[in-house]
Chains A and B, each alone.
Chain A
Amino acid sequence: MSSSSEEEDPTSPGPTDPNSSTPPVGPTPQAQSALESLSQILGEPFSPSLSLLDDTHIANSITIRLRQPLSGAGDDNICRWLYDTFQSSDPQLQLAVLKFLPTLAGVYLIRAVSRKPLAGFEAVLLALYAHVTKSRAGQPVTVTIPDLSHPSLYHETTAKMKTKNIATELHIAVLSPVLEPQGTVRSTKRGRIVGVALELYYSKISQMPVSSKLDLCEFCEVWAGQYDHLSNKNNGNVDEGSNSSINDASSDVSISGVGCIKRSVREECGEKGGRIPLPWELLQPCLRILAHCVLAPTNLKELKAAAMAAVQSLHVRALHDIDPQAILATESLLKLGKREMESINEASDSIVSSDFQDTPESLVVFSN
C-alpha cells in the first residue's frame, strides 16, 4: 500500500495523514451538517475538519453498517443519511455518497432475491438513478461507429469519393438506452436502475478511492457466482491473489472487523453463492468499471489483481450463459489483463536492475 501513486494516495486505505488528504474545499455548511448527522448516527464524534470523501475511518464505519445483516430497511439511518447527503447537490458530498455504491449495490442485489424489505437501499439507488435521468434528460447514450471510408479527425481518405450521405453509413450503437423516470424499484427494472447508478459511478471513477473499487471487484465476483468452479481449478493464481489483496486492504485499515464482515457476505449468501441474474444492462457497466481497474495507468497492483479475479469469474459465468457478447468482452479483457499483470511483474523485476537509460523508448515501455 505504501507504494501507491500520487493519484490514489489521498484516498487509498491507510493511516490517515493530515497532509496527504488535501482539503479540496473548506468544509461547506452542508458538509458540516452532513458530518454532524453522521456522527450522531454512528455514535462517535468526528473532527469537523475531516473530509467525508477521503477519510478511511468513516468509510469503514459506513461500509460495516451497510454490510450488517439487517441493513437497508426503510428505517436504516445510514441509508437515510446517504440519501439526504446525495440530495444536497454539493458535488463533493455526492462523490462521498457515490463511493459507497459498490457495497450498497452489492449487498442489495444479493438480498433482493430473498425479498427482505430493502426500501432504504432502494431509496438511495433511486436517487442516483433520478440524478442521471435528470442530467441526461432521459436521452440515450449513443456511440457512433465510424466508417473509415469517410475522413475523420485522425485520418484522411485518399480516394476523393464524393461523400453520399454520412448518416447512412454509420452504425449507431446504444450504450445506455432511454431513461424513464422510476418512482419505485420494480423488480424487472432492478438491474437497469443499479446499472445506471453504476454508470454514474463509472463517470466519476477517477475520483473514487481504491477501497471502493476493491469492493466492487469483490461483489462482481460474488454476483458471477462461479467461484466454486474456479477454486477447483489448480491454476487459481489470480483468485488467490485477489483474496489476499482484499485481506491486505482490510488489515491495512487496521479495523479488525472488516475482514470478517467481508467474509460474511459470502457466508450470508451461503450455498446459493450470491449468484444473481446479470442482464447486459447490469453487466456492461460492471465490465467498464473492471476494465478501468485492470488497465488504467495508475492503479495499484492489488486492485488489478482483484479486478482480474472478478473478470475471470464473469468470464466463466458468460460461458455458462453462452452469452456471445459477454464472452467476447470478458475474454478480450482477460487476455489484456493477463498481459498487463505480466508486464507489471516484469517491470517490478527490472526496476531494481535498471539504471540510467539513454533511450527514451525504454522509458515509454516501462511506464506502460
Chain B
Amino acid sequence: MPSRKINSSEDGMSSQEVSVSGVFAVSSEVEAEAETKLDEGNIHEAESSLREGLSLNFEEARALLGRLEYQRGNLQAALQVFDGIDLQAAILRFQPSYSEKPSRRNRYRTESPKSLNLHAASLVLEAIYLKSLCLHKLGKSTEAAQECKNVLDAAEKIFPQGLLSGVLIDNKLQETVCTAVELLPELWKQAGRYSEAILAYRRALLSQWNLDAECCARIQKEFAVFLLYGGVQASAPSLAAQIDDSFVPKSNLEEAILLLMILLRKSYLGNTEWDPEVMEHFTFAVSLCGQTYVLAQQFEEILPGIFPRCGRWNCLALCYSGAGQNETALNLLRKSLNPRERPNDLLAFLLAAKICSEDCHLASEGVAYARKAIAKAQGADEHLKGVGLRLLGVCLGKQAKVVSSGLERSVLLSEALKSLDEAITFEHHNPDLIFELGVAYAEHRNTNAALRYAKQFIDATGGLMLKGWRLLALVLSAQQRYKEAEVVTDAALDETAKWEQGPLLKMKAKLKIAQSLPTDAVEAYRLLLALVQAQRKSFGSFRHIIQAANNHVSECEVWQGLATLYASLSHWNDAEICVEKARMLKQYCPATLHTEGIMHEARGRIQEALAAYSNALSLDLDHVHCKVSIGALLWKMGPKSLPLARSFLSDALKLEPTNSLAWFYLGMVHKDEGRITDASDCFQAAAMLDESDPIESFGSIFY
C-alpha cells in the first residue's frame, strides 16, 4: 500500500482522517479481524468491527471491505458490500459548505476546497469506481457505466471548480477520477449506448479533471476514432461549452479532424509521444474530404526522425499530386528517387511517370521513370507492369509532340502504340487503357482504330465517363462524319446532367460550323452561354472546389468562339461586341487578340491585324494559330517577307505538326519562292491532314 502524506496543518484534516490512512500501515489487527468475519460471510459484523476499531463511518467501512473483497476476486461479494454505500449521503457530507456555481472552463482558479475530508472522499469514490469495475467484469455494461458516471457526478459535486493541478488533492483520488473519466466512454460503447458515449467523451475533454497529457491524448484519440468510424451521428456540443469566437465543429468528421490535428500538434510540441496511428487516422479523414493539401502541411510539420525521409517525401508527393500541385510533387519524387536515397521505389516511379505524362516537356523524363517502373515490377508487384507500360506509352506519345524531327516523331509514336498494346495484354479490361489507346491512335491519325477503341471504351464503362463520348465524337468529326458526330454528341447530352454539358455544347457548335450551319451554331453557343453564366452565378465561391471543374467551359472561350463565328459571317458589329465581352472577362488573352487580328485582317486593316497577332504572341510565345496567321499575312505581303513567313510557319509546325493550315501556307511560300517539289509535299500534307482534322484537338479532352 502506498503511504500517504498528510498535511496535518490543514483545517480539514481531522483525527479520523489520520486513522483512516493508518489502517493501511498500522492496524493490521482490526483488519485481520474484519477479514475473518468476511470469510465467515458476515458483512455486517465485519463492517461494525471496522467501524469500531478504526472509528470509521458506515460508508468508509463498506468501501474498505468492498475493496478487500474485490482484491480477492470475489466480485459478487464485493458488489454486495458496495451496494450498501449511499453515495448521495456521502456527497452531502463531502460537499464544500459554501455554495458556488461550478464554472467549467475557468482553469485558473486557485482556491482550494478546504473543508474537505479528502481521504474519506477518495475512499468512497474509489469504492464506487470498483463497483463499476465489478459490474463490468460481470458483463453488466450499462450498470457499470451508470456507476462510473456516478463517480464523476460525485467528483463534480465535491469539487465544484474542477480538479486543479495547483491544488493539493489526494493522489489516489486524482487517479481514481482520471481512470473513471477514461473508462466511462468505453463502458457506454460496450453497452451499445453510443450517444451516451459521445457525451462522456465530451465531458471528459471539456470538464476540469486535471488529466495528465498522455491520458488526455488517449481520450482524444479514442473519441476521434469513434467519431470517424462509429457510424453514429453525434449531436452538437452543448452551448455551455462553446465560447465566443472559438471554432465549434458541426459534424462528426469535423470534430474528429479537429481532435486529430490537436493531437498531432501536441506531439510536435513534445507534449505527448508520437503516435503513428493518429497520423493514419488523420490521413484517412482528410483524404476522404479531398484535402490532401492540408495533409501535406501536416506531413511538413512532422519533426525529423519520425518518418524515414524518403517515405515522407513520397507521401508528400502523393498529397501534392492529389492537390493538383504536380510540380512540387515531382520535385519531391526526384529527391527520393535520387540514387543515394531510395531509387527502387516502384510507386514513386509510377507516380513520377504519371505526373510527367501530363506535360509534353516532361515526357522524356517520364519515359525514363516508366521504363524503370517496368523493370521493377516483379514478383508480388508484377501486376503493376501493365501500369508501367501504359504510362510509358502515354509518355512516348507526349514526347512525340515536342521533338523537332519528323522521323523521331514517327518512331516515338509507333513505340508509344507498341507499349500501349503490350500493356493491354496485362490489363485487358482496364477501360482507361482502352481510352489511352483510342487517343494515341487518334493522334496518330489512324481514325479507324481510334474509332474502335472509343466505342470499346464507352461499352466498357457503360457511358459513365464523359470523355469517352467526347473522344468518339471527335474521332467521327476527324473522319468528316459530322452528322454521326452530332448524333453522338446529342446522345452524350442526353446522358449528361445540365451542369456538365458545357464541353458537349461547345463541340456541337463547332460541328454546326463545320457543316456550315451558322444559325444552328449561334443557337448552340447561346445555350452554352446561358449555362456558363448560370454556373458562374450559382457556384460563386464554391467554384474552385467543384470536383467536375474540368468539365466547365470558360465564358471567355464562348465569346471568342462567337466572335470568330460572327467574323466569318462578316457580322462585324456582333463580332466586336463579343470580343469586347471576352476582353472584359480576361483582359490579356492571346486567343481574344487572335480573334481581333482575324477581324482586322478580314477588313483589310493589315497593320492592326499584325499588331494584334504580335501582341498575342508576346503574351504566349507558343501560340500556334498566331504564328500561322502572321505567316499567312507575311506571305500575302509579297516576296520580300517570304523568308520571314517561312520561319513563322515552320515554327508553328514544330509546335503543332498536324496543323493543316500551316502546311498549306508553307506550301504557298515554297511555291512563290520557286521550290515546287517542296510546295507539293506541303500541299499533300495539308490535304491529308485536312481530311483527318477533328473539330477540336484530341488533347482538349484532357482539359
Contacts and interface: CB of A to CB of B under 8 A. Distances in A.
Contact of A206 (B231, B259, B354): B231
Query: Which A-B residue pairs are the 4 nearest by beta carbons?
Result: A187-B463, A324-B322, A173-B289, A229-B383
A364 B186 contact: yes
Contacts of A276: 462
Contacts of A113: 459-462
A197 to B, nearest CB: 16
Interface stretch (A35-43, A63-71, A76-84, A283-291): A283-291
Interface in B423-478: 427, 429-432, 459-466
Given A146-B247, A146-B257, A166-B247, A277 B542 contact: no
Contacts of B318: 324, 327-328
B137 A356 contact: yes
Interface of B: 71, 73, 133, 136-137, 179, 182-183, 186, 189-192, 194, 205-206, 218, 220, 222, 225-226, 228-233, 237, 241-243, 245-251, 253-255, 257-259, 261-262, 265, 277, 280-281, 283-284, 286-295, 315, 318-319, 321-322, 347, 350-351, 354, 380, 382-384, 386-387, 391, 427, 429-432, 459-466, 494-500, 542, 545-547
A320 B387 contact: yes
A189 interface: yes
Nearest to B137: A356
24 contacts: A143-B253, A146-B257, A146-B258, A150-B247, A153-B241, A156-B246, A173-B291, A180-B497, A187-B495, A188-B495, A188-B500, A189-B497, A202-B231, A225-B429, A272-B429, A279-B465, A288-B288, A297-B230, A322-B387, A328-B292, A328-B318, A356-B137, A364-B182, A367-B190
Contacts of A226: 383
Nearest to A234: B380
A319 B347 contact: yes
A175 B253 contact: yes
A178 B253 CA distance: 18
Contacts of A112: 462, 464
B290 A174 contact: yes
A232 interface: yes
A154 B497 contact: no
Interface stretch (A52-60, A242-250, A331-339): A331-339
A143 B254 contact: yes
A321 B136 CA distance: 48
A156 B295 CA distance: 22
Given A205-B231, A319-B384, A364-B183, 16 more contacts: A113-B461, A145-B257, A146-B247, A152-B248, A171-B291, A174-B547, A175-B288, A186-B495, A206-B230, A232-B382, A275-B430, A277-B462, A298-B189, A321-B432, A360-B133, A367-B190
B462 A190 contact: yes
A303 to B, nearest CB: 12
A263 interface: no
A273 B463 contact: no
Contacts of B284: 291, 328-329, 332-333, 336
Contacts of B206: 153-154
B229 A292 contact: yes
Given A146-B261, A154-B205, A203-B233, A336 B280 contact: yes
Contact of B351 (A173, A232, A322): A322
Contacts of B133: 360, 363
A7 B237 contact: no
A6 interface: yes
B547 A316 contact: no
Interface in A181-208: 182, 186-191, 202-203, 205-206
A135 interface: no
A5 interface: yes
A363 B180 CA distance: 12
Contacts of A294: 229
B189 A153 contact: no
A336 B280 CA distance: 7
A279 B432 CA distance: 12
A298 B247 CA distance: 31
A153 B249 contact: yes
Nearest to A367: B186
A151 B225 contact: no
A346 to B, nearest CB: 15
A172 B545 contact: yes
A112 B459 CA distance: 10
Interface string A242-281: 0000000000000000000000000000011101110111
A28 B254 CA distance: 38
Interface of A: 5-7, 112-115, 140-141, 143-148, 150-156, 163, 166, 171-175, 177-178, 180, 182, 186-191, 202-203, 205-206, 225-226, 229, 232-235, 271-273, 275-277, 279-281, 284, 287-288, 291-292, 294-298, 316, 319-322, 324-329, 331-333, 335-336, 339, 355-356, 358, 360-361, 363-364, 367-368
A288 B233 CA distance: 14
Nearest to A360: B179
Interface core residue of A154, A190, A320 (most chain B CB under 10 Å) = A154
A135 to B, nearest CB: 13
Given A180-B498, A320-B427, A322-B350, A151 B243 contact: yes
Nearest to A8: B192
A211 to B, nearest CB: 16
A329 B246 contact: no
A143 B230 contact: no
B134 to A, nearest CB: 10
B463 A153 contact: no
A138 to B, nearest CB: 11
Nearest to A232: B383
Contacts of B249: 144, 146, 152-153
A368 B219 CA distance: 12
Nearest to A190: B464
Contact of A322 (B259, B354, B463, B500): B354
Contact of A275 (B245, B253, B429): B429
Contacts of A155: 262
Contacts of B265: 148
A359 B432 CA distance: 56
A153 B237 contact: yes
A187 B462 contact: yes
Q: Which of B218, B225, B429, B459 lies at the interface centre, i.e. has the most chain A CB atoms within 10 A of its CB?
A: B429
A143 B288 CA distance: 10
Contacts of A356: 73, 137
A46 B427 CA distance: 48
Contacts of A339: 277
A361 B215 CA distance: 10
B465 A188 contact: yes
B247 A325 contact: no
A188 B73 contact: no
B547 A281 contact: yes
Nearest to B467: A188
Given A7-B192, A140-B542, A324-B319, A284 B497 contact: no
Given A180-B497, A356-B73, A361-B179, A6 B542 contact: no
B251 A143 contact: yes
B675 to A, nearest CB: 48
Contacts of A322: 350-351, 354, 387, 391
Contacts of B183: 360, 363-364
B294 A332 contact: no
A356 B286 CA distance: 40
Contact of A360 (B182, B258, B288, B466): B182
A188 B595 CA distance: 34
Contacts of B220: 154
Nearest to A151: B246
Given A150-B247, A229-B383, A277-B461, A324 B186 contact: no
Contact of A363 (B136, B283, B427, B498): B136
A276 B463 CA distance: 11
B464 A277 contact: yes
Nearest to A291: B229
Contacts of A178: 542, 546
